[in-house]
Amino acid sequence: MAGFNDAPLVRNLAVPAVCLLIAFLSCFSQYIFHYSTLDPGPPSRTETVVFNTLLLCLWCSYFKAVAVDPGRYVFPDQVIEAEGSWCKKCSAPKPPRAHHCRHCGRCIPKMDHHCPWTRNCVSMTTFPHFLRFLVYANVSLWALGKLLWQRFYALWETRHLPAYLGPTLGGLIALALTSLVCLFTTLALGIMLITTVKTWLFNCTMIEGWELDRHEAAIDRGGRDWWDITGPDGEKFRFERVEFPYDIGFFANMAQAMGTSNVLLWFFPLAGNPTVGKDGQGCGWTWEENGFNRKEGMWPPPDPEKIRRAARTWPAARRDYEAELRDANLSPEEEKRAFKERQEQDARRRNMLFAELEEVDDYDIIDEVDDSDDAYDRDDMDGSPGWMNSDGERLRDYGVDEDAEDADADALHDDGDDDEVALGELLRRRKVLQRDDDA
């Protein structure tokens, strides 16, 4: 899955390829069943009706998995500050379980992953359709497999007869080709169905599963459940084991994901899906927790290795936002003097950095965990190490924009610190506040 979404050919041809595959397995197989010399002849009327009904449900659910909007957050008023997580790309609050998708370009409610085969995010609104698509696809493949098995069994029963009394060579080639495509498609979609059903039962998205694996790896590296870490601001941060809070019981999990507790509607292809609540309340904005943690809102757990790495950053690299805000209103001459001062400061910072790099090996901690399956990748695309699971996957492989993800900073700056807010955003906030004061 790593890097699969980034391939231009996959992005452009994935959906047409899926449609061609469905058409091939559905139409070509029925053609050879009805017009070839393969025994036991054409399928019965009941078999034909059942198979084509499954195909109709498959097409309908796949269309919805592709076409339904993955959800968006609409804020009733302009938000300049908010408690909790903040998306730097959207310049807006980020509700729990939401992630910024780098393909969709916005925060997606309860994002599971960005699926290349639907060219859409599997999210709170699209998950029911995605699950129905996988269910109908697998059941249709099983029905097709039964029909193919009947033809192979008939060939085995007549294996002692002369070849000229059996089916034509073209019919045998078509049967073999269809069977191979059906077999590999069944294996691939079967794995996807098992993974998706697990997500459904435990109410844990693929991204949250990745975060849970990272948290367990951090616990194992720490050797104990609790220890104190010095954050970038110099304050002690207490790292602790966090239980996954959104598993509220298997039936409640399934009903929440499908948007209804009516079991009859769960697999009805024309059924609806959950929608994002309005005015900052309701579905998609808040999520029920199981109460296993000492307080709510502790998910996702921060990565202590990332916090330690941020704390080792040389102090002179921290931005002076007050000075930047003052510089925004300087005259041209004052701007020149301020620019020269910044140049001198940058030179001093570079000298400090080079001195520290000569004395400290930034990868000492990473080398200690390279023997495990879960390690930090030194060769990250943006040049910084990042955690990978045992399958070699990172958050970006699920479609998440890692530049917009800063859960560790959010956990450390719940007091409203603006260290991660861009200067333009600070200026905009100040203008809004000034207008409010004038009014």
SS (H, E, C) the chain: CCCHHHCHHHHHHHHHHHHHHHHHHHHHHHHHHHHCCCCCCCCCHHHHHHHHHHHHHHHHHHHHHHHCCCCCCCCCCCCCCCCCCEECCCCEECCCCCEEECCCCEEECCCCEEECCCCEEECCCCHHHHHHHHHHHHHHHHHHHHHHHHHHHHHHHCCCCCHHHCCCHHHHHHHHHHHHHHHHHHHHHHHHHHHHHHHHHHCCCHHHHHHHHHHHHHHHHHCCCCEEEECCCCCEEEECCCCCCCCCCHHHHHHHHHCCCCHHHHCCCCCCCCCCCCCCCCECCECCCCCCCCCCCCCCCCCHHHHHHHHCCCHHHCCCHHHHHHHCCCCHHHHHHHHHHHHHHHHHHHHHHHHHHHHCCCCHHHHHHCCCCCCEECCCCCCCCEECCCCCCCHHHHCECCCCCCHHHHHHCCCCCCCCCCHHHHHHHHHHHHHHHHC
- Please state the rounded mean pLDDT for residues 385-397: 80
Confidence (pTM): 0.77
Determine, yes or no, domain membership for 369.
no
Of 432 and 259, more confident = 259
Contacts of residue 173, defined as CB under 8 A and 6 or more positions apart, other chains included, come to none
- Please state the rounded mean pLDDT for residues 393-403: 85
Of 180 and 82, more confident = 180
Determine, yes or no, domain membership for 163.
yes
Q: Is 115 among the residues known to form the active site?
A: yes
Residue 99's beta-bridge partner residues?
108
- Domain of residue 236 covers 8-309
Write down the residue that tokens 């590296």 correspond to. 221
The pLDDT value recorded for residue 37 is 83
- Please state the rounded mean pLDDT for residues 296-310: 79
Write down the residue that tokens 């269809």 correspond to. 178
Residues 421/88, Cβ–Cβ less than 8 Å = yes
Residues 366/312, Cβ–Cβ less than 8 Å = no
Q: Over the stretch 13-54, which tens digit does the pLDDT of each residue have?
A: 899 999 999 999 999 999 999 888 888 889 999 999 999 999
List the catalytic residue out of 87, 115, 121, 182: 115
Residue 227's beta-bridge partner residues?
239
Mean pLDDT of the chain: 80
Residues 190/135, Cβ–Cβ less than 8 Å = no
Q: Is the pLDDT of residue 124 over 60?
A: yes
Q: Over the stretch 317-327, which tens digit does the pLDDT of each residue have?
A: 455 556 655 66
pLDDT class of 316 with cuts at 50, 70, 90: very low
The pLDDT value recorded for residue 396 is 87
180: left (phi over 0), alpha (psi -120 to 50) or beta: alpha
The residue among 147, 141, 150 whose CA lies nearest residue 186 is: 141
pLDDT class of 127 with cuts at 50, 70, 90: very high
Of 88 and 237, more confident = 88
Determine, yes or no, domain membership for 291.
yes
- Please state the rounded mean pLDDT for residues 239-244: 88
The pLDDT value recorded for residue 228 is 64
State the Cα–Cα distance between residues 166 and 158, nearest whole angstrom.
8
Q: Which amino acid would we find at residue 420?
A: E
Determine, yes or no, domain membership for 323.
no
Determine, yes or no, domain membership for 429.
no
Q: Is the pLDDT of residue 413 over 50?
A: no
Q: Which amino acid would we find at residue 181?
A: V
Determine, yes or no, domain membership for 76.
yes
Residue 115's beta-bridge partner residues?
120
Determine, yes or no, domain membership for 413.
no
Tell me how many domains the chain contains.
1
pLDDT class of 412 with cuts at 50, 70, 90: very low
State the Cα–Cα distance between residues 249 and 203, nearest whole angstrom.
9
Write down the residue that tokens 């069994």 correspond to. 153
The residue among 122, 70, 110, 121 whose CA lies nearest residue 299 is: 110
Of 143 and 437, more confident = 143
The pLDDT value recorded for residue 204 is 96
Q: Over the stretch 203-219, which tens digit does the pLDDT of each residue have?
A: 999 999 999 999 888 88
Kindly report which listed range (8-12, 63-67, 129-133, 294-298) carries the lowest average pLDDT score: 8-12
Q: Is the pLDDT of residue 306 over 90?
A: no
Q: Over the stretch 327-375, which tens digit does the pLDDT of each residue have?
A: 666 677 777 777 777 777 777 766 665 555 554 444 443 344 344 444 4
Q: What percentage of the chain reaches a pLDDT higher than 90?
A: 45
Determine, yes or no, domain membership for 317.
no
Of 331 and 267, more confident = 267
